[in-house]
A and B are shown apart, each in its own frame.
Chain A
Amino acid sequence: MTDDTLADYNFAYLDEQTKRMIRRAILKGLAIPGYQVPFASREMPMPYGWGTGGVQVSAATLTPDDTLKVIDQGADDTTNAVSIRKFFEKTAGVATTTRTAEATVIQTRHRIPEDDLTEDQILVYQVPIPEPLRFLEPRETETRKMHALEEYGLMHVKLYEDISRHGHIATSYAYPVKVQDRYVMDPSPIPKFDNPKMEMPAIQLFGAGREQRIYALPPYTKVVSLDFEDHPFDPSKAPHPCGLCGAADSYLDEVITDDQGGRMFVCSDTDYCESRRAAGHTGSLTEDAA
């Protein structure tokens, strides 16, 4: 630990008993992929909705040798990402990075990094509402029963409603998936573009602080996005290349640049975009400047 670590706190803020409790929930979650494990979520020094679940899972996962990366909507430099990174710098004294490849633990909100993750990495998601059936069936007792008995017809009713109203499946984020042919899971509000990436070598952990649920995907778990035979799943993205690095395969943010209808599309993954630009790739906007 470095000297500017807060001495009065245990490593990574939470006490060891709490971390053991969370680790038990994580292990159970890994043993039953996609199943929501209840855990005794603690009060964290940040408001609900800012990643209290993800922070607790990260705290229970971190070791002093880890390198932490925190992203918010793909970016390393937004408020949420910066404050959580600082939080662990202070309370755990772990090394932090913005480089996806160098990180061992990545806490994320709403994105999966563009770079492929490896077996040595853990991806921790911040989850606002872990229950995929919540907006269709408000009773927790009933949704638990539906999970237990694998009654997932209702999930397709939501997709049916999308098609009947919009002509296509308009759900573009938090797109429900079926894990290992068993549990239907909410992949947290990642864009559906990221859904196919969830079959990956890294461990994926999901923490919902307010709802007190943890769930997990072991490496290489089968993750299938739900769809209809005549309306197959489509991991869509904006049909543009990145304006800064020219990448055609990354998920893009649309940024309004003036009030004349001007706009630009840039990679939402800032690390991916920066490393591409450092390697000499240019987009339509950077070419103009050069």
Chain B
Amino acid sequence: MTRDDAVTPLLSVRDVTKRYGARIGCAEVSFDLYPGEVMGIVGESGSGKSTLLNCLAGHVPPDGGKVIFDTRAEGPRDTLSMSEPERRMLGRTDWAFVHQHARDGLRMGVSAGGNVGERLMAVGARHYGDIRDKAIDWLGRVEIAADRVDDRPTAFSGGMQQRLQIARNLVTGPRLVFMDEPTGGLDVSVQARLLDLLRGLVRDMGLSAIIVTHDLAVVRLLAHRLMVMKDGHVVETGLTDQVLDDPQHAYTQLLVSSVLQV
């Protein structure tokens, strides 16, 4: 493997395990994510996808394993043994987390501009005009009109809320984005636009992303690589097209054949 020698992985996950008492959330998950790469995690409900994502993003402390992130300043570091201020700082700068429900990721009582500006202010921006210009610029990038900047997210449609959440997360120029079912609960035409937008942003900004979803169409469009989970274990990994077109594991075969054809 020449790639291993040439590039440091942005994120190296080693044996991450999370148990809920006797039950398994996810068990001994390991993988590398390289800069600019998008990885999809698919599996049925309860297969441990979201548990894994929350462990990686530092929302839930795993019971074992390592999550090594290639930080800008100090190179690869285990985020689980970092101090909490450092981890939370990563969460505001280099990391972004897009929730399935925009309401979980937005401040519903704060205007769209304030929502986008929050991360800027959290890392020290103190110039109102600059913050506002940047917020309007980002609203434009996610196809929200500039005159909606002072409206609250409660006045937005579901698709707009989701786009606003994406703008709010990407405004500080993160390098790694965690997405938990970003298109869940949206109708198909809105989903298509959102996917189009995400694909453009990922490509333009050179983002790395981990996308958890049960929608195979989403990973087909966005993900370079795929990881299939069942009962907390990774049952199959590989290039997206390879896994979807030639599934090896029985569960993956079931998953792929379960998709309804229109």
Query: How extensive is the interface on chain B, given as a class?
Result: 20 to 34
Q: Determine which of A149, A154, A229 lies in contact with B126 in the assembled complex, contact meaning CB atoms within 8 Å.
A: A229
Nearest chain B CB to A154 CB, angstrom units? 7
Q: How far is the CA of A222 from the CA of B142 in the complex (A)?
A: 42
Query: How extensive is the interface on chain A, given as a class?
Result: 10 to 19
A62 contacts B by Cβ under 8 Å: no
B149 contacts A by Cβ under 8 Å: yes
B122 contacts A by Cβ under 8 Å: yes
A157 contacts B by Cβ under 8 Å: yes
Most interface-central of A136, A156, A165 (chain B CB within 10 A): A156
B119 contacts A by Cβ under 8 Å: yes
A141 contacts B by Cβ under 8 Å: no
B113 contacts A by Cβ under 8 Å: yes
The residues of A that contact B88 with a CB separation of less than 8 Å are 149, 151
Q: How far is the CA of A164 from the CA of B118 in the complex (A)?
A: 14
Stretch at the interface among B29-37, B127-135, B204-212: B127-135
A160 touches B114 (CB 8 A): yes
Count CB-based A-B contacts (< 8 Å): 54
The residues of B that contact A228 with a CB separation of less than 8 Å are 126-128
The residues of A that contact B131 with a CB separation of less than 8 Å are 160
Q: Taking CB as reference atom, which chain B residue is nearest A227?
A: B126
B113 touches A160 (CB 8 A): yes
Q: Determine which of B84, B85, B123 lies in contact with A153 in the assembled complex, contact meaning CB atoms within 8 Å.
A: B123
B121 contacts A by Cβ under 8 Å: yes
B128 touches A231 (CB 8 A): yes
A157 touches B150 (CB 8 A): no
B85 touches A157 (CB 8 A): no
B126 touches A164 (CB 8 A): no
Q: Determine which of A149, A160, A163, A229 lies in contact with B84 in the assembled complex, contact meaning CB atoms within 8 Å.
A: A149
The residues of A that contact B126 with a CB separation of less than 8 Å are 156, 228-229
A160 touches B85 (CB 8 A): no
B237 contacts A by Cβ under 8 Å: no
B111 contacts A by Cβ under 8 Å: yes
Nearest chain A CB to B137 CB, angstrom units? 15
The residues of A that contact B113 with a CB separation of less than 8 Å are 160, 164
Q: Determine which of A149, A151, A157 lies in contact with B110 in the assembled complex, contact meaning CB atoms within 8 Å.
A: A157
A102 contacts B by Cβ under 8 Å: no
Q: Determine which of A136, A149, A165, A229 lies in contact with B150 in the assembled complex, contact meaning CB atoms within 8 Å.
A: A165
A230 contacts B by Cβ under 8 Å: yes
The residues of A that contact B128 with a CB separation of less than 8 Å are 160, 163, 228-231
Q: How far is the CA of A161 from the CA of B111 in the complex (A)?
A: 7
* Binary A-proximity of B102-116 (CB < 8 A = 1, otherwise 0): 000001001101100
B25 contacts A by Cβ under 8 Å: no
B127 touches A160 (CB 8 A): no
Q: How far is the CA of A157 from the CA of B85 in the complex (A)?
A: 20
Nearest chain A CB to B157 CB, angstrom units? 21
Interface residues of A in 209-267 (CB under 8 A from B): 228-231
A160 touches B122 (CB 8 A): no
The residues of A that contact B122 with a CB separation of less than 8 Å are 151, 153-154
The residues of B that contact A161 with a CB separation of less than 8 Å are 110-111, 114
B117 contacts A by Cβ under 8 Å: yes
Q: How far is the CA of A290 from the CA of B22 in the complex (A)?
A: 88
A157 touches B107 (CB 8 A): yes
A149 touches B107 (CB 8 A): no
Q: How far is the CA of A228 from the CA of B114 in the complex (A)?
A: 14
The residues of B that contact A230 with a CB separation of less than 8 Å are 127-129
Nearest chain B CB to A240 CB, angstrom units? 29
Q: Determine which of B118, B127, B149 lies in contact with A157 in the assembled complex, contact meaning CB atoms within 8 Å.
A: B118
Interface residues of B in 56-109 (CB under 8 A from A): 84-85, 88, 92, 107
The residues of A that contact B111 with a CB separation of less than 8 Å are 161, 164-165
Nearest chain A CB to B183 CB, angstrom units? 28
The residues of A that contact B107 with a CB separation of less than 8 Å are 136, 157
Q: How far is the CA of A149 from the CA of B85 in the complex (A)?
A: 6
State the B residues within 8 Å of A (CB): 84-85, 88, 92, 107, 110-111, 113-114, 117-119, 121-124, 126-129, 131-132, 149-150
If A149-B85, A160-B114 are given as contacts, then 11 extra A-B residue pairs at C-beta distance below 8 Å, sorted by A number, are A149-B84, A153-B121, A153-B123, A154-B122, A157-B117, A160-B113, A160-B117, A163-B128, A164-B150, A165-B111, A228-B128
Question: Could you list 27 examples of A-B contacts with CB < 8 Å?
Answer: A136-B107, A136-B110, A149-B84, A149-B88, A151-B88, A151-B122, A153-B118, A153-B124, A154-B118, A154-B122, A156-B126, A157-B110, A157-B114, A160-B113, A160-B114, A160-B132, A161-B111, A161-B114, A164-B111, A164-B150, A165-B111, A228-B126, A228-B127, A229-B126, A230-B127, A230-B128, A231-B128
